[in-house]
Amino acid sequence: MRFKFLTYNTCFNHGFFDIDKIIKKYKPDIICLQEVDTDIENLKKIEKFGYLLADFANSFIKKGKIFGIATFYNPKRFMVVNSDFIFLPKVFNQIISSFFNLIAKIKERRTVLESVFYDILNKRKIEVYNNHFPVFTTNGEKLRALKSLFEYYQIKRKKHVIITGDFNYLPYGRKSLEKLIFQYGLKEGTKNINYTIIYSLKNKKIAKTYPTIARFLTKIFSLFFTDRLKIDYTFYKGFKLIESKRIEVEFSDHYPIISIFDYE
């Protein structure tokens, strides 16, 4: 039986305020959010739509608020078996990361959140990994971190896996990414989606969340990569992808992505 899966970077909780519009229309069974305010009262707001929090992980502090990643589920379809998180490998503390973080005055610690679900209707276990990788690192560093994730969680041995989130993978080295996920028996559920970023900084509330250097880079990217900057991905294993599409709403600087899966 099919189920719906949503991944969404809410841009420091801005997209979370309007997530009810997405939920009512698409009715996802599992929701993975990034850059969400992890205050428990904020996270509880989604419960009124019939969802439960599987778990959350704090990543960084910005202007006195704590932001991170959170995974929710439909209790009529899934049960939580286990949930845990780890901090990404020290590879992101290399010189390039430190240099850009110093300029942008950013102090980030990104995490990977693992949630193991039991499908009540299909009686199968699903392992979901919600991610948010740093912006100012090379694609090579991100690939090494992704490989570390695959090894740490022994992805090759898993039967039903979904790995999703904002990987901040810039528009080069596409073949290297494809080669890596193929080595671990994964497929890309977002392959048909060309871009996931909204370039417009007209929304002043969202624009203020960008450091000065990020605003500058956004303008540059908008000139050359308008239809190619895809940094949100969904990888999967043990499922048949029915459909995956970008949801055309501008509540955040990212588009939400909804995918429909069935079992192989």
Name the nearest CA neighbour of 243 among 34, 46, 1, 3.
3
What's the CATH number where 131 sits? 3.60.10.10
The pair of three-digit structure tokens given for residue 110, joined into one six-digit string:
């990104």
Q: In a 10 Å sphere around its CB, with 0-12 CB exposed, 13-18 middle and 19+ buried, how is residue 121 labelled?
A: exposed
What pLDDT, in 10s, does the model give residues 80-90?
A: 998 765 544 43
H or E element in which residue 224 lies: helix 212-224
The answer to whether the Cα torsion of 20, 118, 261, 11 is positive or negative is: positive
Domain span at residue 184 reads 3-263
The whole model's pTM is what? 0.88
Q: How far apart are CA 126 and CA 117, in angstroms?
A: 5
What pLDDT, in 10s, does the model give residues 161-193?
A: 999 999 999 888 999 999 999 999 999 999 999
Stretch 111-122: mean pLDDT: 94
Task: Count up the domains in the chain and report the number.
Answer: 1
Calculate the CA dihedral of residues 29, 12, 48, 262 and round it to 10 degrees.
0
